[in-house]
């Protein structure tokens, strides 16, 4: 009887061990290399801010290649030299959240990038898709990831939802981050995917006094924004678009302008000469069926460039990220370029 109990105990322990190994292997397959789960991360409570609920700061272990934490109920990837926490505030009577990924230890007078998720997305998914943690660690930037109401940004001034006031919300996030964490107000940038990229273009028009440069991935220009984009300061802008995007067609659709018309609008706003645009074929690094061309408007009276990375054969994706939906739904995600790296390199050349 004792031997039987011993055997069952051994089998049970082996089962627990096998499950743990499977979970570890699964995480390794999903995220690559060595990972640590949230249970290994010690959170420290950040000092409260007036009118803002500040969550615990979770710091990535120094000797673990990748750490997967849980924040606001969703997973977020960190690497050594990074930390993350969440902010919750009420704006226009609606509770809004912001995920902050920062260097560890925290830096002051650092640049910050507002990164806006796509329609139905989340800050955590956008952070993981763009692989921001490694850039936070290597470049000392802060990344602010606000969440949209019901997952959708109010990007069209011609059909605006006043209850959201997304422009006012983002302005408040910028002011809060600069005041509370000593970020460099002259090096605040905005970028987004899809609906987030449409929204970053609206911010380019309406928050030019707070932003130094803007990026938009898998997004184009709405007629409503083009008609409302008057005044303000020209700002550098980088576009990343796919020629076979089934969601935001390269040639435009409805009130969404074509990729060519979108670039021409921003080039004109920045005082660029379209005849001076330089087109370069970038190296075809991988056999994924895509190639990339870079168009740069170099002669701009404002000194603010308007550039476009055209992904030939590319879909509704964040190049360099993962294929988050099947190819028949969103098209191909190019691995010839890393959109995050390209945008950060572009931003680094500009201050407000």
pLDDT tens for the chain, 352 residues: list them.
Answer: 444 434 433 333 333 333 333 333 333 333 333 444 433 333 444 445 778 999 999 999 999 999 999 999 999 999 999 999 999 999 999 999 999 999 999 999 999 999 999 999 999 999 999 999 999 999 999 999 999 999 999 999 999 888 899 999 999 999 999 999 999 999 999 999 999 999 999 999 999 999 999 999 999 999 999 999 998 999 999 999 999 999 999 999 999 999 999 999 999 999 998 777 999 999 999 999 999 999 998 789 999 999 999 999 999 999 999 999 999 999 999 999 999 999 999 999 999 9
Enter the pTM of the model. 0.86
Cα 157 from Cα 151, distance rounded (Å): 18
Q: Which of 319, 220, 323, 326 is nearest to 264 (CA)?
A: 220
Give yes or no for a contact between 319 and 335, defined as CB atoms under 8 angstroms apart: yes
The predicted structure's pLDDT at residue 51: 82
């Amino acid at each position: 009887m004792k031997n039987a109990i011993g055997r069952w105990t051994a089998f049970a322990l082996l089962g627990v061990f096998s499950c743990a190994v499977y979970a570890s292997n699964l995480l390794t397959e999903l995220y690559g290399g060595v990972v640590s789960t949230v249970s290994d991360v010690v959170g420290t409570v950040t000092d409260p801010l007036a009118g803002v609920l500040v969550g615990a700061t979770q710091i990535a272990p120094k000797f673990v290649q990748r750490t997967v934490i849980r924040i606001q109920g969703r997973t977020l990837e960190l690497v050594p030299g990074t930390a993350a926490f969440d902010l919750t505030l009420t704006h226009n009577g609606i509770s809004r959240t912001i995920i902050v990924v920062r260097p560890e230890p925290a830096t002051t007078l650092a640049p910050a990038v507002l990164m806006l998720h796509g329609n139905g997305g989340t800050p955590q998914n956008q952070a993981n898709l763009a692989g921001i943690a490694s850039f936070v660690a290597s470049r000392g930037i802060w990344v602010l990831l606000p969440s949209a109401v019901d997952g959708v940004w109010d990007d069209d001034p011609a059909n605006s939802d006043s209850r959201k006031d997304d422009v006012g919300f983002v302005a408040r996030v910028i002011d809060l981050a600069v005041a509370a964490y000593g970020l460099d107000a002259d090096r605040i940038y905005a970028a987004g995917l899809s609906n987030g990229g449409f929204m970053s273009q609206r911010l380019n028009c309406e928050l030019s006094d707070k932003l130094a440069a803007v990026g938009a991935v898998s997004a184009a220009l709405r007629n409503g924004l083009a008609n409302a984009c008057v005044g303000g300061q020209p700002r550098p802008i980088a576009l990343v678009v796919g020629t076979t995007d089934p969601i935001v067609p390269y040639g435009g659709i409805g009130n969404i302008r074509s990729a060519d018309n979108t670039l021409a609008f921003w080039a004109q706003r920045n005082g660029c000469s379209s005849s001076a645009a330089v087109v370069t074929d970038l190296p075809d690094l991988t056999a994924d069926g895509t190639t990339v061309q870079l168009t740069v408007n170099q002669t701009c009276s404002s000194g603010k460039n308007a550039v476009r990375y055209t992904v030939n054969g590319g879909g509704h994706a964040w190049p360099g990220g993962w294929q988050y939906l099947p190819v028949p739904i969103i098209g191909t995600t190019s691995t010839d370029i890393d959109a995050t790296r390209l945008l950060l390199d572009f931003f680094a050349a500009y201050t407000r």
